[in-house]
Amino acid sequence: PLGLARELLADVVDGDARLAWRGSSVGLANPAGASLALEDAGYVVVDLETTGLRPGTAAICEIGAVRIRDFELGERFETLVNPRQPLPPAIGALTGIDPSSLRTAPPAELAVRRFLDFARDDVLVAHNARFDIGFLDVEVERLTGRRLAAPVIDTVWLARRLLGDRSRRVGLASLAYFFGTAARPCHRALPDAEATAEILLRLIGLAQERGARSVADLVELGAPRARRLATKRSLAAGAPPRPGVYFFHDQTGQILYVGRARDLRARLGSYFRTDRQRPAVEAAVAVLARIEWRVLGSELEAGLEELRLLRELRPPANARSTRPDRYVYLRRRGSGFVVSETPTPLGPIKSRRLAKRAARALAGFEGDDPAAALPPLRRKLRRLASDLRFEDAARLRDTLSALEEVVRWLGELDRLRSLRLCLIVPALEDRFERAFFITGGRVAAVRTLPAGSAGGIELAAGLAAATRAEASTAAEDIDELLLVGAFLRTPPPELRTIALDDLERRAA
């Protein structure tokens, strides 16, 4: 029950400032000042020196921090910390910290309390924040029973997102060199915090060029991919385990991407796991603000609806191969073939480059069937190779390979165009089915009919409409035919097929 679950989780959520209630769900809390504009926010950039790498085992030995207001470095905070354990010689050599100076330094609980008083409610920033905040969390939890509010802006992840290939190295020293900071990292807390602060200001400028306006925008840009995805997972809440189509919208409402699913809940959830998508889809997910879906009766119907929506909407993140207006055909002209956008039986071909290479292979061919050109071209290729004319043979091999691929493709299209079938799948409405009539190289008619044997009238009407439909070689029709072919190769359990010849005999 919801009440019991909330009661059980209450101590966890109330004791961890990184978590917050989102209605009846638990999510990440917004960082301090998340709604503030970037120029209005205060930032506290913190760096620690420690006796080792593991929070809870190693201890803090120095804290340095610098405040940023109005995009300028301001107050500083610096203190040594008594770690109450020996300082390893390697750490002493790296940092230059004298172990004797730590014995008179304030203990961690006092030093951390002073740091918290300095930081107040400003946005925390760190370079490789997981390390620094991990140590601070241990001490803050001892003091208050809670962890620091999160997420913290991490300049490592922010640099990775914003710099890309311009700086593959995102260590503090590498970024300080890249940006030419006045402060130089030296493995001491305050100078390292000052260098991080300068880097942050440069990264904020780059983030603003990418459209970031608020602290929340910056936090999202600087979050690891898994966390960015986690914050968007709730957008798919409520999606049913049913077939349908879905739409990704950005903040302006523009449709970025359209997809189909056999199970909307599972498919939408897959976008927010660790597996990466195509770069265009990754970009769409990065700016995703709303997901809309439309439930349909079957995956086949969802696939056909997706194709219609892609033609109508042309979403920027969908693959270019879903653009029928870019498909081409081969057409005879004179003693050869040319690439044309006018529909002919020799197409459509999705790649213009492939079609052009095939047309070059057909130069001088007198027949109408490109497949008939293959045997003489293969003989010519063998003859060129035996005559040691390797450059000519290589050129012919490339065009011949393209022609072979086009011939295989055209053969598949001819096979699909010969289909005369009725595909029956469940409709969205209970006790009804959808019938798709395939003939003449297209989905020629669609009817909704009662499930079972009561749909004879609707089947007859669909058959009559399909019989009247003209044959098609149009690009948009071939995409639907290819989809039908894929479902016939691997039919889902709910799909039934009836040959149109059988329907005609029943109607006679």
- The 10s digit of each residue's pLDDT in 112-131 is 999 999 999 899 999 999 99
Best CA proximity match to 47, nearest among 68, 27, 22, 64: 64
Rg of the chain, C-alpha, whole Å: 33
User: Left if phi > 0, otherwise alpha if psi is -120 to 50, otherwise beta: which for 128?
Assistant: left
**pLDDT higher than threshold 70 for residue 235:** yes
**Distance between first and last Cα of the chain:** 60
Cis-peptide into 348, omega within 30 deg? yes
Task: Say if residue 36's pLDDT is above 90.
Answer: no
**Can you give the pLDDT at residue 222?**
79
Helices of type H across 83-214: 89-95, 99-103, 108-119, 129-144, 155-163, 172-179, 189-209
Q: How many CA atoms lie within 13 A of 234 on its CB side?
A: 11
Confidence at 22, pLDDT banded by 50, 70, 90: low
pLDDT at 95 over 80: yes
How many C-beta neighbours within 10 Å does residue 142 have?
11
Is the CATH code 3.40.190.10 the one for domain 31-221? no
* Whether the predicted pLDDT of 233 surpasses 90: no
pLDDT at 30 (0 to 100): 58
DSSP 3-state percent helix, strand, coil across the chain (nearest 5)? 50, 20, 30
Q: What pLDDT does 506 receive?
A: 82
| Cα distance between residue 284 and residue 260, in whole Å | 16
Q: What is the pLDDT of residue 287?
A: 85
User: What strand order describes the sheet that includes 421-426?
Assistant: 442-450, 432-439, 421-426, 496-499
Q: Which backbone phi and psi does 227 adopt, to 5 degrees? A: -75, -40
Average pLDDT of the chain, as a whole number: 90
Confidence of residue 255 (pLDDT cuts 50, 70, 90): very high
Taking residue 119's Cβ as centre, other Cβ atoms within 10 Å add up to 20
At residue 12, the pLDDT reads: 65
Strand-pair partners of 261: 244
| Percent of the chain with pLDDT strictly greater than 90 | 69
Q: What is the pLDDT of residue 59?
A: 96
CB atoms within 10 A of CB 293: 20
State the amino acid at position 492 in one-letter form.
P
Q: What are the tens digits of pLDDT across the range 198-224?
A: 999 999 999 999 888 999 888 888 777
Give 147's strand partners.
Answer: 16
347 φ/ψ angles, rounded to the nearest 5 degrees: 160, -170
CA 447, CA 461: separation in Å to the nearest integer? 8
**Nearest CA among 230, 275, 229, 267 for reference residue 245:** 267
Q: At what angle do helices 279-286 and 225-232 cross, to 10 degrees?
A: 60
pLDDT tier at 31 (50, 70, 90 boundaries)?
low
Q: Convert the pLDDT of each residue in 408-436 to its tens digit.
A: 999 999 999 999 999 999 999 999 999 99
Q: Nearest 5°: CA angle at 120, between 118 and 123?
A: 110
Mean pLDDT throughout 382-391?
91
Residue 170 has pLDDT above 90, yes or no: yes
Output the CATH code of domain 226-318: 3.40.1440.10
Dist. CA 242–CA 488, nearest whole Å: 21
Contact 92, 52 (CB under 8 A): no
pLDDT tens, position by position, 50-91: 999 999 899 999 999 999 999 999 999 999 999 999 999 999
Tokens read off for 421: 């079938």
Most confident of 58-72, 314-328, 338-352: 58-72
Cβ count near 3 (within 10 Å): 8
The whole-angstrom separation of Cα 182 and Cα 30 is 32
